Structures are given as C-alpha cells and as structure tokens.
Structure 1
C-alpha cells in the first residue's frame, strides 16, 4: 500500500499523567509513515520535560511550545500550520489509538477517495479500564445530521488536506465540532469506519466532563458560529441533548 504522510496533531497542557501512554499508542502503529506534532500550551507541570525525552527516542515526534497559554483551538492550529502530511489526524493527550488505526483509516481514505473520515470508539476511565461503552456512529454524516448529533470523536478524525486544504479550528468551543460543521456546511460528508479504532478517556474535572458547560458552548455554536435563528437552534439542540445523554449514560 502506498504510504502517504500522516500528520498527527496533539495539544498538551499539564498532561504528564497520560501523555506517555498516548504517544506510545502512536509509536505502536502498524502504519509508520507519520509525524507526531505535539504542541504544549505552557504546561505548569513536567509535561515539557517528558516531551523532550520522548522526542529523543523517535525522530517522528516533533514538539513545539506555545509562547503563552492559548487554549486548545489555537494550540491545535499551531500544530496544523507545521503539518506536512497529506492527511491530518487528531489525538488528544489523554486518549489512545488501536495499533492498526492509521493503517485501516488511510486505506479507507484511499479506497473511498473521501476527504473526511472517522470511526467508532470506546470509553475508558482514568486508569485505562474499559467502561463497556461504545460510541457507534452512522456510516455517513451530513451537515444537518451533525447539527443534531455531535457523535464524531475528534480522536478518530482524519482529513485529506489535498481536498479540503489545511483546516483551521475556530476559536470557539467545542472547536472540533465547530470545524466539522464548517467543513460539512459546504456539502462535504463525513464517512465512518465501522470499527472501534480509539479509546476516549473520561477524566474527572476535565473541560468535557462538565456537561452543562459543554451544552452552553454548543448552544453558542448554533447561534454564533452557524448563525441559526432561535427556533432551529432549539430544535437541533433538543436532538443534540438527547443524543448526548444516550452516548454518555445509556
């Protein structure tokens, strides 16, 4: 199989507890033509020291440090700016990939000629224990689908930069969903690989663990980023909220 370069973007902030496991899940990939761009957002723990050591072990690991704390969107965008790959993939600093994730996904992208792919994923706890909760996604997601169901896990996404150009994450949380909407708004569709290729770690007191704050931010995406009027926003938000409950609690 032809091996195009994949650029993996990982933002870090005080990620010392999990970053070694995350990077190891990348280094264990059966597909080896990648660059792992890790951008640290001015961590106050020893994350940077760990990254320096990881970089010494493998030349495919490339680390950068933000000049000032800038939050996830701008940190990811800095990594994207440095990316040289045909494909861009995303992996947060506490999540994990299955060893064949890149191999399966690159082959899927090449076989289907799609520009945007993602996959199913599982949820794990802070200790890496499987919570027996799988996020199973529809095979195809359109713009209207995503407005009602933000099921696309950032840790599973791969984008073709030759078809889409280099993406820029909006500085509006949730920045990943805001980007997917921006891409799909123009008629593009996202295609799901019906396999579990990644593990999403549930971390206590993380930004994503506060569901009320996350919901408020999603409402802001409807109103400010997508410019939806009140009634369409309420309609989509009601579906979003129900799907979020199913994903996390049922």
Structure 2
C-alpha cells in the first residue's frame, strides 16, 4: 500500500483538488492522510465529508504553528503503507503518477526513492515551466552539489528508508526537503520518471512556506555543518560548483520576490565562485522581466 501524506493549513478550497487527484490515481491501493496544521477554516468539515464517502482517508489535526514539515512527519508516523508519497494541499498529480513510480520500484530492488518531473505553474504570470531533471541511480554525490530531486510532491519513498534516514528536520528554517534528500541519497539508489506528473502551483510569494532569502542562507549554513564530513569528500572544483549552486538558488528566491537587486547580488556571488557561461548568462538576464525569462526557458 502507498500512504499519501498531505499537509494543509487554511486552504480547504484548494485542498479538495489535491485530495481528488490522489483519489483519481490509477493505482488504487492507497491511504490518504491529511494533516491539518491548526487550520481554522472549514478544512475539518471538508475532510469529514470525504470520510463519509471514502474508507481510505485519515484526517489528523496537530498543534498549530509548527509548519508543513512537522505535519508531514505526523503523517508519516500515522502511515501504514510500505511507500510514502507527499502531496501539497494546493498541488495535484497526473492520474498515473503513483503507478508509474511503483513500476520503477518494482524494476530494481536497489531503489528506495523515486521522483518525477513537474510542471511548475506560475499562476499570476499564467505560464508553465516544465522541470525535468533526468538523474537517477547513485546520487550520493550529485545531491551534495545541488537539490537534483526537487520538491516533495514529486517524491515517493520506501517507509523503511525514512525509518533509517530520519524524517524532516523541523528545526531547519528552510530547505527541509533538500536536507532529507541528502540523508536518503546516502542510503539508497534513486529512480526517476522522465515525465512531468505533478502540477506544482506557484503563486509568486503567496504560497510557499518561505521565500525568505535570510532563512535560506541560514539553512545552507546548517546543512554545511550537519554534513561537513560529506562535503569534505568533494574536490575543490566541486566545492566551487556547490557554492555557486547555493547562491543561484537564493538568487532565484529573490527574483521570485521581484527583488532584482538582491537577485543580481547573489548571481554575482555565484559568478565569483565559479566563472561559467551559464552563470554569466544568469547575471545578464536578471534585468529581463520574469515572465519573459520563463517563456525563453521553456523554448530552450
């Protein structure tokens, strides 16, 4: 069985879309665990209505204010499945997502986690960016250079691997997913479905847990300390690439906040760490409107 964990907070009008996309999966041996982080809207009533119709839905309410990753952890603890899949309350899956991932697990017993491509939908800009990584296998070093796995809604993972790696670190101010993927990738091979099977909705500052560059900087410092022994295995050139990737990730957050000066600052830091055509193009593109950049990126 696959346990689908959905954290939520005061978004009942969007939550139904996520729940429906889980119920509509072609693979039917699932349980859906919705964990409310102290919602004060009608989330509980919405979920009670679902529970009257469906026999595979659990609803848990936890103490408010601890955030989505604490809610995910509570969902994992309540799960009964062999596999855990994560879905955000305002995102949705393609109907064959879980079936496709399960096929990858069944094809190779060394795989403990499978992720997919995603459609990043910028709602205000009315644009979709197709994010496909294409990396699988032993990612124990790749994950140290950057978050090649991406966001939680694309991931399905064996429960036994999570029991070994530990769950989401709720003390991290940001990048909790990346922190977990680092641990997981040291334990198991990773599979990849080269198809965008998640619609990941981006509301340009209204949605996510954190678009704070300061929080992401603190998270990077914490990751550096937590995994210092792993980072010591990188070559000097790989360290340059890693630092460059970190700065680009923060620059992206600044640009999503429409803070071009801060985006330029971190873009320049990335270029200083690693002089490359890619980083140079990034810095030069900062003045270009975000919507135009997305259109260009989709055509590349």
* TM-score, normalised with respect to structure 1: 0.85
Question: How many residues matched?
Answer: 243
* Distance in structure 2 (CA, Å) of the matches to 1:125 and 1:47: 25
2:15 is matched with which residue? 19
1:201 is matched with which residue? 201
The Cα shift of 1:170 comes to 1.2
Partner residue of 2:119 out of 109, 117, 122: 122
1:160 is matched with which residue? 158
* Distance in structure 2 (CA, Å) of the matches to 1:37 and 1:175: 20
* Distance in structure 2 (CA, Å) of the matches to 1:136 and 1:95: 17
Partner residue of 2:53 out of 39, 43, 57: 57
Which structure has more relative contact order (CA 8 Å, sep 6+)? It is 1
Is residue 77 of structure 2 the alignment partner of residue 81 of structure 1?
Answer: yes
Decide which moves more: 100-109 or 60-69.
Answer: 60-69
* Distance in structure 2 (CA, Å) of the matches to 1:219 and 1:176: 12
The Cα shift of 1:94 comes to 0.8
Secondary structure at the residue paired with 1:48? helix
Is residue 13 of structure 2 the alignment partner of residue 9 of structure 1?
Answer: no
Higher Rg: 2
1:185 is matched with which residue? 186
Change (3 A) 1:225 1:48: farther
Offset from partner CA, 1:148-185 (integer Å, 9 cap, x none): 22132210111112455374111123221111111123
Q: Which runs of 5+ in 2 are unaligned?
A: 253-281, 283-292
* Distance in structure 2 (CA, Å) of the matches to 1:236 and 1:147: 7
| Aligned CA-pair RMSD | 2.8
* Distance in structure 1 (CA, Å) of the matches to 2:168 and 2:43: 24
1:69 is matched with which residue? 65
* Distance in structure 2 (CA, Å) of the matches to 1:29 and 1:105: 12
Q: How does 1:221-236 map to 2 (within 5 A)?
A: 221-227=222-228, 235-236=241-242
Offset from partner CA, 1:201-228 (integer Å, 9 cap, x none): 1023233562624632441342343237
Q: Which runs of 5+ in 1 are unaligned?
A: none
2:147 is matched with which residue? 150
